[in-house]
Structure 1
């Protein structure tokens, strides 16, 4: 296989007569390090996990690579508190959110810029440079005039500018989506414009290397010893390092070959003389080669490409290539290395005269009267004779066809867009009893990449704002284009048609059968009315036709939907709540949402009417035998009605307030603790019945005797 034979380079550079001087290069390469001791080259796994350990090597990056980097500075977690609810003896709810500021060192050499950033596998910066989180990001590319980061300087006082090294700084990165800890970051780093030639990488790493050609790599991370890096680069370029004008250059089988005439073993008895040709057993040669690499087509995830041969062998040799390369290029490299390993079984010695000292290790030669081309791996001069050790150069192999490296479920890289916000005080969507006004908040974004927004609310016209955490999962939002006519809440509305236009074409609605509707599926807010739908038919352009409707759910039959009203699909995952103090009842409440794509926060104002606290209006007004009026109460805690009996009261006591207006007479208010009014009542009397709740009264049941 193609390797770097540094043991011969010292002599080769200085010439056979000046090996002591030339050996200084090989010695220097072995002792100059890129963050490690010993001749250890870069490894594929070194880029997998973000670290903060002291002494961790920082790679030199070339081309474009995805790296984890090393955390070099961070603040403590920053805690923000939000309070909601409270008042009149009610406990307030305190919420906490956390953020952090930190710096990540990326490359030990300057870079051009960065591309995408992943945090715990989630994309937080897109390929267009758009941030998908509400935070500040600064990138320091490592220029020689690089300034100190202002945030680090303000926190530490004295801090280096890290000139010549590339790093980034996150300021106030929200941590809620990452378990309130620093996430595992990986960054797409653009170190050079376009692929990087192997020779150019080597020349940057080692001053002893000249030339910048050879095979190109989409990206490369150099760490470990200089010798180890050059050895890996030689493998990547399917070549070897050879002396050239007092330096090293990457050689391959191209170019002319010097023709040698083998004179055989010298009769004087050259030390170490051996047979002219030796062939190692096939069991010493790998049966296959596996090349590990980073695949740009799979978001730089690690991939493996293998080349194998039939027959006996020494198993599969693993070659870790800390480089970004296509699956096709990795397969071609594996095949080339396997062919080279097979050819290296053969060792051929050639004995020359004194003039053979001009042939240095690394040269390509041909032997007179023999087929093939050979690489010189060792030169030995003694007793006026020169003995060269050669290995055959294999014939060129056919180009590898396109290789499929497999698919990857990449993180969505979609624009975030501005926040779309819907806020309403609705009846509670489960059977819990609230003790404070509750606003239901639903939000989404104009772009599919939108995830959440931070919430604030104000009940004093913006004089003060209270944090209220963040929105829930993105909701399906839209606008009503066609409204159905009013219909009873106790029957399926089979004639009504609700047409809505959703905010984005990728938003979807679905059908629901009767069993699913009974479980509360497809509950939507259309204006102030809660509606369920059984059938959803796409009309194109984000428009949907909703039929088989259930109207006025949870006591909202009085708020009929109208054209132009907002629409939002209500689910447990997408609806969040803001608990208000009781003092907010009857006041205008402003709610503000700020997401990653917002230039200005989205804002909605609603009046806290008590709709989340009041019981639903009574129903089924009937004349009693004594000429009076009876009715049936409903409960804000019994919508599921699983036992088929009376629903729970849900209030401190059963109480009603009636407004009785006889024909031509003045209205009279009555307070009752039972669901009927004794008679007789005059014909034409209008009666309004409200159930009195613990915190608010219901809407009226209005009937005329």
Structure 2
């Protein structure tokens, strides 16, 4: 349906405003068969917001304090321009001058803008050239060598009608002998046809402008200046057209010019191909996961959790809003890509950390994305890290894997696992049942912004498609508090005990560190905490019968103290390293027999 309005004679006429939404019309030609007519048609859709090039140049002049200007000879239409922090009016105009082929010259105190057309402004006869003592000859012509010419021109731009994504077009000189490429980027909204035309014009202009001329004119020819096209005699006895690019006033006008051809500025008659915008994706709820993880690389914020999200289809980006109450939300984090998230279809039994788990494959069905195998060297360097858990923020085991084989639609089997990485061996259960959640830690999950003072406090989170407001039904509302697992000490290892002749039990262990513990340079790994402290508790019959705190990796439980505590027979001792900020980490247990 078109809305057409006939106005009074000599008044503007609105013609061809179409009710079909742009850019889906004309792009959806499988829906509307007349989409191919758009490029040469009368539609205003997608064009009414364009600005005249003359109007934009005039606005830049006014903003720069230039009151005397003339844009009457400037033609063209500007679809969009990301000027950014250009700084000066000249810097703002430069991309436009390159793209739309116009010059800015000052004459008689007026800044004049004129589109290049290659039309002749005057002839210069050989006998009318001025003789200058500074010049080698009356007329000096130079042709640049072929080797200096680029055989390809590549232009990057903002594509109109395609969600303003970056596009690129390339022009190649036929039978080009050189392999050099001249690449340029313009912050302009262009169609592909327009960008291709600009690249082709640049390539042709560079070839034609190989010929340059230097000459002088007497004061009687002051009417010629920068931007004018003059005809000069060439070496073959004919004539060629040159555009004056530089004028130096002395006793004579000393001019520099480059050769031009009017055909370079004739618009192409190629039919424009409509851009294909991304298909519409209805907003659907995303599946968000919070992961309160230990330090993996070492440069993370230790108390801040990660957030991952996935959805089918993926909405493009996901926003995370947070607030202390269920109101007054502020944007916290944007997720630009879907995380690789899956659900286990088989159980994963407990395994020893630090050695490859060569047990049965772990079968995982992914929501989206894919997995890949990696060599053992790559895995030891940090590749193929993943987290498995029950979906709650703080209960995640970090593991790595060498093998990933696709065995069905979105279904993979993971083998060659390194379990309990980054100190999570201390919270590894006897079994992760089928239905557990697996998240690939490939850098896609991002840390949220969380103040240290908010650690452990419940906050409200709304997570959903970034194109929608946080009050949209597609958003998921969560209330979560985070312990800051990045601050959690690792569980001690190598617990050992010995009973002496007096009946006293002597316990020892080796501490670990959560910070910079991979280096083999030092004699001891860094402490990683403000002070060395361990919580020790004595267990019997499933109950805690005694607790203490020691400052060294050893503890003596004397026979007299055991009797006072009522401990007889077999018992167990559990040890955890203590952090001033986090408290005790995971406990390691040793059974002590009589």
**TM-score, normalized by length of structure 1?**
0.42
Return the structure number with greater relative CO, CA threshold 8 A, min gap 6: 1
**TM-score, normalized by length of structure 2?**
0.49
